[in-house]
Amino acid sequence: MTNLLDPSILFFIFGIFAGLVKSNLEIPQPISRFLSLYLLMALGLKGGFALNKSGFTPEIAISLGLAISLAIAIPLLGYNLLKHKLDKLDAAAIAATYGSISAVTFITTTQVLDQSGISYGGHMAAAMALMESPAIIIAIVLANRIRQHRSGTTASQTSLAKVLHESFTDGGQLLLLGSLMVGLISGDSGHKVMAPFSIDLFKGLLAFFLLDMGLVAARSIGELKGKPPITLAYAFIAPPTHALIALGLCHLFHVPLGDTILLMILAASASYIAVPAVLRHAMPEVNPALYMGMSLGITFPLNIILGIPIYSAIANYFA
């Protein structure tokens, strides 16, 4: 569990503590937004530089294909399980949250892999971007069908075209993909120029951002009061289940260790930025506290503190 001694993880735990004791410690929203964009930009650049060296190979195509497959299968499995216990719109919203991904969990994992000397492909940044939107699209399609079934009209349907536009032009995702392309095009010369920005500063700014995320996670725990037991159980059980599904697919297709760990983490993570931003408008019938409390209050800290080392150890065992 050397992961718990990492300064970034320790700052995250400290943030949770500060939030639970109701400290007035707070990171201003503009700074938090800047840190989020910086981390995505630095990750995209790093992935682009790595892709410039490796090129596009069949192994990369397999990893990206598995990423898309997981992004489609997980929300469908989640919805079909939850719809028997919850309102169908609530089930669709939770399925979308857990079918999408957490960029911060992914970024934190890359740092752990770097420190452990485990290599991974630069294309995994692209895999992360590809896994963000399918669950949102599936949830909107499901919501439209549910509303149509209940009212017998299409008047309240959300435009899928609008959702697609919002998903693929989201600022964070666009910055990630744009940075990936910049790194891919500029190659070694770009890597040398950008290293002080995208590598040297990365660890410290990640620790500062995780401090803020710890504060937010602690405050989200209170939103879980009064929620159905199935939601709490799902927040604990779904992440490791999804990670094991990813492990099985990676083992079947002989995916390298580093990429396997990252696909497990992506499958196990839950969105707390992209999905809520879309669902607040596309599915106003669902209280955001439901899926935000689950993803930020339980799944995010669980993955950061315990998930990363446990999934890494399991992947190492089967490697």
187 or 252: whose pLDDT is higher? 252
pLDDT for 224 equals 75
**Which residue, chain included where needed, has tokens 């990893």?**
63
273 versus 33: the higher-pLDDT residue is 33
- Could you give the percent of the chain with pLDDT greater than 90? 37
**pLDDT tens track for 189-212:** 998 999 888 888 888 888 888 898
Tally of CB atoms within 10 A around 302: 18
Which pLDDT value is given to residue 80? 95
Q: Provide mean pLDDT across the span 228-238.
A: 92
* pLDDT category of residue 155 using cuts at 50, 70 and 90: very low
pLDDT reading at 314 higher than 70: yes
Q: Give the whole-angstrom CA distance, residue 2 versus residue 212.
A: 22
Residue 315: pLDDT over 80: yes
How far is 9 from 123, CA to CA, in rounded Å? 25
Highest mean pLDDT among 72-81, 118-127, 132-141: 72-81
Q: Which of 4-8, 36-40, 149-153, 267-271 has the lowest mean pLDDT?
A: 149-153
Sign of the four-CA dihedral 293, 27, 278, 78: negative
User: Can you tell me the mean pLDDT for 256-275?
Assistant: 92
Number of residues written out for the chain: 319
Is 248's pLDDT higher than 50?
yes
**Rounded distance between C-alpha atoms, residue 23 and residue 15, angstroms:** 10
Please give the model's pTM, rounded to 2 decimal places: 0.83
- Please state which of the ranges 32-46, 55-69, 161-175, 230-244 shows the lowest mean pLDDT: 161-175
Q: What fold does the segment set 28-318 form as a domain?
A: Na+/H+ antiporter like fold (1.20.1530)
For residue 227, pLDDT beyond 60: yes
| Contact between 112 and 40 (Cβ < 8 Å) | no
pLDDT tens string 25-52: 888 989 988 988 888 888 888 888 888 8
Rounded Cα gap, residues 163 and 184, in angstroms = 29
Q: For residues 96 and 135, is the Cβ–Cβ distance under 8 A?
A: yes
Instruction: Please report the pLDDT score of residue 237 as a whole number.
Output: 95
Confidence of residue 2 (pLDDT cuts 50, 70, 90): low
- Name, in order, each residue with C-beta under 8 angstroms of 215's C-beta and a sequence gap of 6 or more: 15, 16, 18, 19, 25, 26, 27
For the ranges 145-154, 246-255, 297-306, the one whose mean pLDDT is highest? 246-255
More confident call, 157 vs 10: 10
Please determine, for residue 68, whether its predicted confidence score (pLDDT) is greater than 90.
Answer: yes
What pLDDT band is residue 73 in, cutting at 50, 70 and 90? very high
Domain ranges of the chain: 28-318
